[in-house]
């Protein structure tokens, strides 16, 4: 693990979902490639899709079809993509390797953990139910839980209200620049998950997180 500056004491850890807590890329790739096949397009290699998996349906459809949200074909394709994904939401998705060990250690140490994601609730909640995580997380804040989503601090502060911890005592772990910005905007300590869905264009050093981790088990060093 490479540190930028030492972490202070913390009483709670909040996780981003896609690319940080849970490896959802295989099922997002399945939904996108199924839609591409249905539309008579060539499928995309998984290695092309994985770095985009944290950025939502707009980014995935841009990758697959070369369209933007302004395109007249976008809305019907997005609807079909989301339905395909919803129908296959836990086909291969699982906690990242080592993350179950981390969550169990947090629970044993009585350290609160929760989730703040830009995934909409209609996808977040059934996914966490199927992974048997809903009852374990102290809070689940989705993209539409508050009027704003990350990098706005509102969902982060809402999570703090739910778990009754001060932002300054919370650690937020994410794999995208907006995650680190959201944590900083809420005055939390921040951690970049380098094992997540980073692309070659990403420059995590420029995000200025408090520290970075290369594997979920790196978290165990702080307990």
List, by residue number, the catalytic residues: 16, 18
Instruction: Say which residues have a Cβ less than 8 Å from residue 45's Cβ, sequence separation at least 6.
Output: none
Place of tokens 């296959």: 88
Phi, psi of 140 (to 5 degrees): -135, 105
Give the residue among 173, 177, 181 at the shortest CA–CA distance from 211.
Answer: 173
Give the residue among 45, 39, 117 at the shortest CA–CA distance from 84.
Answer: 39
Measure the CA–CA gap between 41 and 93, rounded to whole angstroms.
25
Task: Kindly state the DSSP code that residue 187 receives in the 8-state scheme.
Answer: T
Contact between 14 and 153 (Cβ < 8 Å): no
Query: Residues 16-44, buried b or exposed e (16+ Cβ, 10 A)?
Result: bbbbbbbbbbbbbbbbbbbbbeeeeeebb
Where residue 98 falls (left for φ over 0; alpha for ψ -120 to 50; beta otherwise) is left
Pairing outcome for strands 170-174 and 189-193: parallel
């Amino acid at each position: 693990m490479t540190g930028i500056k030492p972490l202070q004491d913390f009483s709670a850890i909040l996780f981003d979902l896609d690319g940080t807590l849970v490896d959802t890329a295989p099922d997002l790739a399945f939904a996108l490639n199924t839609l591409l096949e249905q539309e008579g397009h060539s499928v995309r290699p998984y290695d092309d899709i994985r770095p985009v998996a944290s950025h939502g349906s707009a980014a995935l459809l841009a990758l697959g079809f070369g369209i933007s949200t302004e395109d007249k074909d976008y809305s019907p394709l997005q609807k079909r993509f989301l339905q395909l994904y919803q129908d296959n939401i836990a086909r291969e998705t699982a906690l990242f390797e080592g993350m179950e060990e981390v969550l169990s250690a947090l629970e044993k140490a009585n350290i609160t953990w929760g989730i703040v994601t830009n995934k909409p609730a209609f996808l977040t909640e059934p996914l966490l139910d199927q992974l048997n995580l809903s009852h374990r997380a102290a809070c689940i804040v989705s993209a539409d839980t508050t009027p704003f989503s990350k990098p706005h601090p509102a969902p982060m502060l809402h999570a703090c209200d739910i778990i009754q911890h001060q932002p300054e005592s919370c650690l937020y772990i994410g794999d995208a620049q907006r995650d680190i910005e959201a944590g900083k905007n809420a005055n939390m300590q921040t951690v970049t998950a380098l094992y997540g869905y980073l692309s070659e264009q990403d420059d995590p050093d420029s995000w200025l997180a408090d520290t970075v981790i290369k594997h979920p088990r790196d978290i165990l060093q702080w307990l």
